[in-house]
Structure 1
Amino acid sequence: MAQRGRPREFDMEDALDRAIDVFWRQGYSGTSLSDLTRAMGISRPSLYGAFGTKEETFKLAVERYARIDMAYVTTALAAPTAYETAGRYLRDNVDAVTTPGKPAGCLSIQGGLSASPDDDRVVRYLAERRADGEARFAARFAQAITDGDLPASENPAALAKYVSTVSAGLAVQAAAGVARDDLHRVVDRALLAFPRRPEAEALPHTSVTS
C-alpha cells in the first residue's frame, strides 16, 4: 500500500538523539528552537510535524534518554538485596553521568536547572518523573522489608529519597567536572549509611563454583 504524504527525509531516532544532546548540554531554558533545528538538521515545520513543540520534543527526549541511557535502573531494581539495588544503581549512575563522548551529568537534572518561570510545566514534568522513579525504589525497599532483607523499622520512601538525592548530587558534581573515581568514592561513603539485612537474620555466605 502506498504511503500518503511525503516521506520524512530524516531518521527520527537520530534526530531525537541530537535533540537529547542539545537539551543535555544547554538545559531546557537554554535551548532555542534554532538550536534544535540546527542540531537535528531539520526545518521548523519538520520539527513540529515529527515531534511537536519544543516542550513536546523535550519530553520525547527525556523518555528516550530514560529508556536507553538509564536502562541500568531496571537492572538495579532486580538485584537480590536492597543494599545491592542501591549500590548498583549509584555505581552505574556514576558511570552514566561520566560517560566519555557524552555531556557530563544527567539530562533530567540538567534540563530543569535554572529554569525560567515560563517553564513551570517542564519543571513539574521532571519532578513527576523523579517522583515516579522514587516510587519504584520505595516499592523495592518495601518488598525488602517484607522479605526480612531490611529491618522493619526502615522507611522505604525515606530510603528511596536518600538514594535519589545522592544520585542527583552525583549528576551535579559530574557536570561540574568531578572525576569518575572521586564520585565512586562518594558512593562508597554514601552506602555506609544504607542499611543491610539484620545480622541475626543474615543468610550464611556461600560461594558458587563452576
Structure 2
Amino acid sequence: MSGRPREFKNTDVIDAAIEVFWKHGYEATSAEALCKQTGIGRGSLYNAFGSKYELYKAALKRYQDLGIEEQKALLERSDRPVKERLRSLMEWAMQLDKLDTKDADRQGCMAVNAAAERGGHDAAVADLINDHVRFLEQTICHLIVLGQRSGEIPATRSPLELTRMFISSYYGLRVLGKVANDQDLLLDIIEGTLSSLSTTKA
C-alpha cells in the first residue's frame, strides 16, 4: 500500500531517530544525520518509512508512547497520596528536561518542541500532541476527584478547572525548564501549583 511506512519490528531505529529529532528538531535534521545515528542507509531508511516526515511522526509517537508509560506509572501509584503523585510527575519532568543549570545542552521535551516548531501548521503533529494532553487531562482529573473524595483536595472547585490549571503549570514548567537559569524558580512553580490545589475558591 503506497504512502504508508513499512513497520520496523526492531524499534531501535526509531529510538535512534528520536535522539536526532529531539536534539535538532524536524527542519534542521538532515538525512545524513539520521543515517549516521540509525546506522541505516538512506535508501533503506526511506524505503521503510517513505520520507523524513513519516520517520519524524513515528519518532514523535514513540516518544509520546514511552512518556505516557512513565507518566502512568507515577500517577497510578495508589499507595501514595494524590498530591504526591502529582509532585512526582512534575519532578519527573524536571529530570527529563535536564534542569541542571550547568548542563548547556538542555533539549527540553520533544513533544513541547514539536508543538512549538510544527503544531501551528501541521495537523498530524497537533493531533499527536493533543492526544497526549487529553490523556493527561483525563488521568489527572480522575486523580483530583479521588483527592476530593478523600478530603485531600477541597471539593469547592471544579475538578476540571483544577486539572487544567495543573496542566498549564506543568507545560509551563517544561518550557521554562529549557531556558530558565534559576532552578529555585522551577521548584517554586511546583510548590505553588500543588498548594493551589488546596486553596478553596472565594
Distance in 1 (CA, whole Å) between partners of 2:142 and 2:31 is 39
Quote how far apart the aligned CAs of 1:107 are: 0.9
* Pair 1:105-2:103 in alignment: no
Unmatched tracts of structure 2, length 5 or more: 1-7
Distance in 2, Cα, partners of 1:161 & 1:116: 20
Q: Is the 2:74–2:89 Cα contact (8 Å) retained in structure 1?
A: yes
2:158 partner amino acid: N
AA paired with 2:110? L
Pairwise CA distance, 1:62: 2.9
The corresponding residue for 1:66 is 64
Matches within 5 A, 1:43-58: 43-58=41-56
- Asked if 1 retains the 8 angstrom alpha-carbon contact of 2:108 and 2:178, the reply is yes
Which SS does the other structure have where 1:135 is aligned? Answer: helix
Aligned 8 A contact 1:76 1:84 in 2: no
Match of 1:78 among 76, 80, 84: 76
Report if aligned partners of 1:62, 1:108 keep a CA contact under 8 Å in 2: yes
Asked if 1 retains the 8 angstrom alpha-carbon contact of 2:20 and 2:33, the reply is yes
Counterpart in 1 of 2:92?
Answer: 92
Per-residue CA deviation, residues 42-88 of structure 1 (Å, 9 max, x unaligned), is: 22332234445434423332343234456441233124332222211
Shift of 1:123: 2.1
Residues 68, 99 of structure 1: alpha-carbon distance in 2 compared, 3 angstrom cutoff: farther
The yes-or-no answer on 1:121 pairing with 2:119 is: no
Equivalent position amino acid for 1:60 in 2: A
Q: Which residue identity lines up with residue 189 of structure 2 in the other structure? A: V
Task: Confirm or deny: 8 A CA contact 1:19 1:61 kept in the other structure.
Answer: yes
Instruction: Work out whether residues 119 and 125 of structure 2, in 8 Å CA contact, stay in contact via their aligned partners in 1.
Output: no
Contact 2:147 2:153 in 1 (8 A): yes
CA RMSD of aligned residues (A): 3.2
Partner of 2:15 in structure 1? 17
Counterpart code for 1:13: T
**Taking every aligned residue pair, what percent have the same amino acid on both sides?**
24
TM-score calculated relative to the size of structure 2 = 0.74
Aligned in 2, Cα 1:78/1:116: closer, same or farther, shift over 3 Å? closer
| TM-score, normalised via structure 1 length | 0.71
In the alignment, the residues of structure 2 paired with residue 162 and residue 29 of structure 1 have an alpha-carbon distance, to the nearest angstrom, of: 32
Question: What does the per-residue CA deviation read over 1:134-174, in whole Å, with 9 as the maximum and x for residues that have no partner?
Answer: 22211222233344433332222222222222121122112
Task: Name stretches of at least 5 consecutive residues in structure 1 with no aligned partner.
Answer: 1-9, 198-210
Q: Which of 187, 190, 194 in structure 2 is aligned with 1:184?
A: 187
